[in-house]
Structure 1
């Protein structure tokens, strides 16, 4: 027989169960598994076990595994994108120095944890799901290309802001400055930061001075030689800083 609680006695409240993970936490758990085992090798059961969540809860948020994968990938893109305002903040009077700073930010972004994770996921799954690469380009690459094209129009165009090759120049900048490093990283090549920075700076100069070669180049002057010396000194300082950071990381690890 069930016991009857005495009248007037307060009811004992049940302890709440384990709180459900937020969507962001669930997507992060799923993304880690997709990266480790691939889309085909990851099951909803494994994701639920990693997240400590019931299958019905996952299915109520996302209808199937593919929808969950694309949502997790969309979150990865959000974390990876460099805000255009941050790129604009790098602009200054010295156009070459501005492009150096922009290039370094974009390369560093590709080599960061979010960038590498996104590269590996899209490369491994884009054959069976080409739409994920298109989404990556639409949300991540296209805004950057539009910004660069606008920058080239403003800095290299005529007094009306016309620069017919602006879109091509923007694409070339990303391909030359960022593309090679991104490809190396996607193939698992480990690069020292000093080498990455030196390569980035070289590529920016190769791009810019190749672009400016279409116009008449001024004769080498004393001021030009001084600029070259300052540029070399800046390169050496940048390389020294990168080596110090690398040494500090090794000691810390």
Structure 2
């Protein structure tokens, strides 16, 4: 459809901006940062270079903007995380794992992980931004769930931050690496792996012997 003449509305301008960022991320992933040009990105969506430069001073700025938008799409609202905590520790952790793995299986999640894998040596700040904005809030939520489980005697006293990191590495990290490389497991197999590793983690954290007697 041909765009109407005259000044675009705010909604139209934002939609074009989103097109620009999507096209930029696609091309940076397809060709790498070095080989991708502003001309290529503008041509992909029939936009002038002048319009691109009106928003972004240079290619690195556009790259960071495209990655930042992809990160923001991966942020999990706190109310969604809170909804997972229904009192069953294993079920809560399984829900978190399915959510994080499912995010990586989306087109946005795959692009983001792959661009971080290929370009974070050049732009280390994108790795940090992804961790701080997307991963850390989930880690903090898991640590809080584990703290409550410690308080009620479900698991032994431990460093909940380390335990949350181990959870993400064991349950999520391995699956993410496989998915990003193109080896996507079937849903039943994914559920089996999640269930197994969550229970393996919790078995290692549960009180034993005298610890059970001392639990509140």
Matched, 1:86 2:75: no
1:127 to 116, 121, 129: 121
| Runs of 5+ consecutive residues of structure 1 not aligned to the other structure | 1-14, 219-253
Give how far 1:90 is off: 1.2
- Superposed CA deviations along residues 25-68 of structure 1, whole A, max 9, x for unmatched, are 21112111112212112110011101211111111100001100
**1:101-140 equivalences in 2 (<5 Å):** 101-140=95-134
Higher RCO (Cα < 8 Å, 6 or more apart): 2
In structure 2, the residue matched to 1:49 is 43
Q: What TM-score do you get using the length of structure 1 for normalisation?
A: 0.73
**1:103 and 1:185 mapped to 2: Cα distance?**
14
Q: Which moved more, 1:39-48 or 1:110-119?
A: 110-119
The change in CA–CA distance for 1:215 and 1:158 in structure 2 (over 3 A counts) is: farther
2:148 to 154, 157, 160: 154
Q: What TM-score do you get using the length of structure 2 for normalisation?
A: 0.84
**2:184 and 2:135 mapped to 1: Cα distance?**
24
Matched, 1:33 2:27: yes
3-state DSSP class of the match of 1:93? coil
- Superposed CA deviations along residues 194-235 of structure 1, whole A, max 9, x for unmatched, are 2112111111111111111556688xxxxxxxxxxxxxxxxx
Matched, 1:190 2:179: no
Query: Larger % of helix: which?
Result: 2
Give how far 1:17 is off: 6.2
**1:216 and 1:100 mapped to 2: Cα distance?**
29
Runs of at least 4 residues of structure 1 off by over 4 A?
A: 17-21, 213-218
The change in CA–CA distance for 1:196 and 1:164 in structure 2 (over 3 A counts) is: closer
**2:209 and 2:58 mapped to 1: Cα distance?**
56
Give how far 1:179 is off: 0.5
CA contact (8 A) 1:81 1:140 kept: yes
**2:111 and 2:98 mapped to 1: Cα distance?**
19
Give how far 1:157 is off: 2.6
1:173 to 153, 167, 174: 167
The change in CA–CA distance for 1:100 and 1:211 in structure 2 (over 3 A counts) is: same
Matched, 1:96 2:77: no
| Bigger radius of gyration | 1
CA contact (8 A) 2:93 2:142 kept: no
In structure 1, the residue matched to 2:206 is 212
